[in-house]
Amino acid sequence: MPTDRPDIGVKSVQVTLDVLEAVAFSTEEVGVTELAGKLGLTKGTIFRHLKTLVERGYLAQNPATTRYRLGIKSHLLGRMAGASIDLLASAEAAMKSLRDATGQTVVLSAVEPRAVRVVTTLMGKSPIEIGVRPGSELQFHASAQGKVALAFSRRPLLARLEKQTLSRLTDHTITDVALLRREIDRVRGQGWASAPEQVMLGINALAAPILDQTGDGIAAIALCGSIQFLRQRPDPAQIAAVKAAAAQVSRNLGFGVRARQRTAASAAE
């Protein structure tokens, strides 16, 4: 029989998750009858949920045995979750140091195919809180974090964006592809990006890229605050602090390790 669940949420979602977990935690492929017995549900109910999970790619059915195993999307989610956990652990100290040095809210974001997603936010020291909720998506063309992603990620993000209509969030949002391309070239050259009032009036962000061990831009660390404290042209000390924090997180993720190893090997010869 299934473990008792609290009587909250949508029952069908609870059942779907029960089915997914039962398959995931099984040491071998699982059949409909076995799942029905384990979860105390009818085979018809189990089959409907299995069908949906297979269609969405979270489970896969073995055509030879008709039994079920985890699908490719479940594996991708696991990889993304693992990457996020590594990113959080690697960035924790740098985020705190950056917040303490600047007094501004610090935002950690991960690069995804469609947008930059906020992983976590460390609120600043001002009595008025300005931040971005974890889980929020930031558009590539309008946010400082998105511009960093376009400049430093190896994914063809800019090429995809050039085929779309760029949404205007404020009167300051860059919606012209040629202007955006020049902006990204500038970001790539200077190593940081800002987006003064391009997402919301009165708000600016200052971001720098986080690189993995291969040199790919997988994330961004940013200051977020009022245009009063993060001006259109950010203070050089703020820029240096953000770039230093991003470099620290990148080192924690292994960026530059191979180069340092080669240097050490050459010195030892």
Q: The pTM is what?
A: 0.67
pLDDT at position 264 is 42
Helix (H) or strand (E) holding 221: strand 217-226
Query: What fold is seen in the domain 81-258?
Result: Beta-Lactamase (3.30.450)
Q: Domain residue spans in the chain?
A: 11-70, 81-258
**Could you give the CA distance from residue 114 to residue 133 in angstroms, rounded to a whole number?**
18
Which three-class secondary structure state does DSSP give residue 56?
A: coil
Residue 163, amino acid: K
What does the angle CA 78 – CA 84 – CA 88 come to, to the nearest 5 degrees?
Answer: 150
The backbone region for 256, taken as left when phi is positive above 0, alpha when psi lies in -120 to 50, beta otherwise, is left
Helices and strands per DSSP (H, E), number in the chain: 9, 8
Q: Is 205 exposed, middle or buried (0-12, 13-18, 19+ CB in 10 A)?
A: buried
pLDDT at position 179 is 94
pLDDT at residue 188 is higher than 90 = yes
Report residue 196 as tokens. 């003064």
- Cβ proximity of 138 and 146 under 8 Å: yes
Q: Which residue has better confidence, 72 or 175?
A: 175
pLDDT at position 80 is 65
How many residues are there in the chain? Answer: 269
Query: What fold is seen in the domain 11-70?
Result: Arc Repressor Mutant, subunit A (1.10.10)
